Amino acid sequence: MSDTPEPSGPQASQEPSLDEQIAAYQREFRDLDPQVEKVVSALGRLNRRMNVAYGRQVADLGISNAEWEVLKTLVLSGAPYRLGPGELAKRLGLTPAAMTHRIDRMAGEGLVTRDRDENNRVRVIVELTDEGRQKWLEAMRMATAFEEELLQDLSAEERGSLGEMLIRLLRRVELTQPDAGGRLTDLD
């Protein structure tokens, strides 16, 4: 008795640091470029953390991250803030079925309205309500404050070059991944 006191068991503890993680990968996979891996892993982690942060903030407004996405998309479409479910689904990377339900909820909460198009009754028009627009505005204020805080350690020059490099990566990924109607699912 008392000869398995502890730490050989499956209990480690926390997410490893980025450097630890990269070192571990290198042990398991010889030809790994640590510089590349550093960029990629940092990107993934940063995004996860940011999404958690956004989610917390909009939750204080009583909306979910998913609902905020819809509000953003409608506002981006410009006044009068109207889009069809199909178009919304395409931009958000959801199936039309999921869009139907999400709009149901949001209409129930008064964030959007859902009406048949007068001129083409097979179409539906989703329109932002004033309340929805207000929520978007509040969320936007919180988001920009957070983003400003996030970037506080970077000079204007650094911000510029960071943005420029990210856009170059984005262009490259769009080139090599033609996005065949792509689902935007899952996270890293």
Partner DNA sequence: GCATCGAACTTTAGGATCGAAGTCTTCAGG
Partner DNA sequence: CCTGAAGACTTCGATCCTAAAGTTCGATGC
Contact positions vs DNA (CB under 7 A):
1-2, 4, 10-11, 64, 66, 84-87, 93-103, 105, 114, 120-124, 183, 185
Contact 112, 125 (CB under 8 A): no
Q: Does 145 bind its own copies (CB under 8 A)?
A: no
d(CA 141, CA 88): 23
**36 vs 97, beta carbon nearer its own copies:** 36
Other C-beta atoms closer than 10 Å to the C-beta of 102 total 22
Q: Which of its own copies, DNA, none has residue 1 at its interface (CB below 5 to 8 Å by kind)?
A: DNA
Q: Which of its own copies, DNA, none has residue 96 at its interface (CB below 5 to 8 Å by kind)?
A: DNA
**The two structure tokens encoding residue 154:** 């970077």
Q: Please pick, from the candidates 2, 7, 108, 120, the single residue that binds its own copies as defined by CB under 8 A.
A: 120
**The two structure tokens encoding residue 172:** 């490259």
Q: Which of DNA, its own copies, none has residue 63 at its interface (CB below 5 to 8 Å by kind)?
A: none
**26 vs 64, beta carbon nearer DNA:** 64
Q: Please pick, from the candidates 7, 78, 108, 121, the single residue that binds its own copies as defined by CB under 8 A.
A: 78
Q: Please pick, from the candidates 26, 61, 65, 138, the single residue that binds its own copies as defined by CB under 8 A.
A: 65
Q: Which residues 6+ apart lie within 8 Å of 128 measured at CB?
A: 71, 74, 75, 81, 82, 111, 112, 136
Shortest spacing between CB 96 and its own copies, in angstroms: 14
- Size (the chain), residues: 188
Q: What sign results for the dihedral spanned by CA atoms 79, 84, 87, 91?
A: positive
